[in-house]
Amino acid sequence: MNFLEKRIVEDGQVLSSSVLKVDSFLNHQVDPELMEKIGKEMAVRFQGTGITKIVTIESSGIAPAVFTGLSLGVPVIFARKQKSVTLQDGLFSAEVYSFTKQQTNTICLSAQFLTSGDRVLIIDDFLAYGEAALGLCEMVQQVGAVIAGIGIVIEKSFQPGRQKLEKKGYRVESIARIQEMKEGSLTFLTNIKE
Ligand code: 5GP
């Protein structure tokens, strides 16, 4: 097991066969040392791909994205789930359906911080049905920037997100890939580096 898989086994809670709770280190309380390791691992996986910007979505994507940005030496932009008063002009937006919340949100990104010359790494906390990642890709493509890859902290490989993203030609790297969850236990796909 790699460092993240070990942490999931120690501190994660399998709430059902499809929902994992990791509020103690990622989704509510955040463990900075773990985020630093995640950032370094993302940087290793995407080194040499010419990334110039990282794009994520508030709120739980921000911590792993910032540490990845620190390791790669590039800025991090986070998409908003709601339009704010300070974010009005030159907006790119996409519709994202959340299977966990059973609702569609319009996510948005200011045109100010991305250009058509950027090579973007998308980072998110979880990959389930791929809707959030696809929405982020859609906005990056509206700008005309290139998507260099998608880095995921925890992938639920039994859900269709990875297939949907790979079908569109995107490279997906996930630090932990969960093969199966049952109440009280989970298994990982084993092709992960230590
Ligand atoms: P997708 O758009 O890939 O269906 O879902 C991605 C988003 O849903 C993630 O950003 C995350 O916020 C949330 N999510 C999906 N599945 C889980 C889960 O099992 N646990 C937690 N904590 N969040 C999840």
**Number of residues assigned to the chain:** 194
Please list the residues that pair with 93 across neighbouring strands: 108
Kindly report the backbone phi and psi dihedral angles of residue 107, in degrees, each rounded to the nearest multiple of 5, phi listed first: -100, 150
Q: Which atom of ligand 1 is nearest to the CA of 15?
A: 19
Residue 30: Cβ within 10 Å count? 16
Please list the residues that pair with 94 across neighbouring strands: 107
The tokens describing 155, both together, are: 């992938």
72 Cα: distance to centroid of ligand 1 (angstroms)? 25
Tell me the average pLDDT across 26-32.
98
Lowest mean pLDDT among 22-26, 33-37, 83-87: 83-87
What pLDDT, in 10s, does the model give residues 36-53? 999 999 999 999 999 999
DSSP classification of residue 80: B
Q: What residue's CA is closest to ligand 1, atom 9?
A: 126
Q: Are strands 76-79 and 53-57 parallel, antiparallel or unpaired?
A: parallel
Q: Which atom of ligand 1 is nearest to the CA of 61?
A: 10
Would you say the CB of residue 4 lies under 6 angstroms from ligand 1? no
Q: What is the ipTM of this complex?
A: 0.98
Tell me the average pLDDT across 15-22.
95
Cα(143)–Cα(36) distance, rounded to whole angstroms? 29
What pLDDT, in 10s, does the model give residues 106-126? 999 998 999 999 999 999 999
pLDDT, position 178? 98
Q: What is the pTM of this model?
A: 0.95
16, 108, 140, 165 from 93: Cα distances, Å: 32, 4, 10, 19
18 Cα: distance to centroid of ligand 1 (angstroms)? 10
Tell me the average pLDDT across 9-17.
95
28 Cα: distance to centroid of ligand 1 (angstroms)? 14
Q: What residue's CA is closest to ligand 1, atom 20?
A: 20
97 assigned to a ligand binding site: no
pLDDT, position 88? 66
What pLDDT, in 10s, does the model give residues 133-146? 999 999 999 999 99
pLDDT higher than 60, residue 179:
yes
Measured between its terminal Cα atoms, the distance across the chain in Å is 6
Residue 194 banded pLDDT, cuts 50, 70, 90: very low
Q: Which atom of ligand 1 is nearest to the CA of 161?
A: 3
Residue 68 banded pLDDT, cuts 50, 70, 90: very high
Cα(190)–Cα(116) distance, rounded to whole angstroms? 37
155 Cα: distance to centroid of ligand 1 (angstroms)? 9
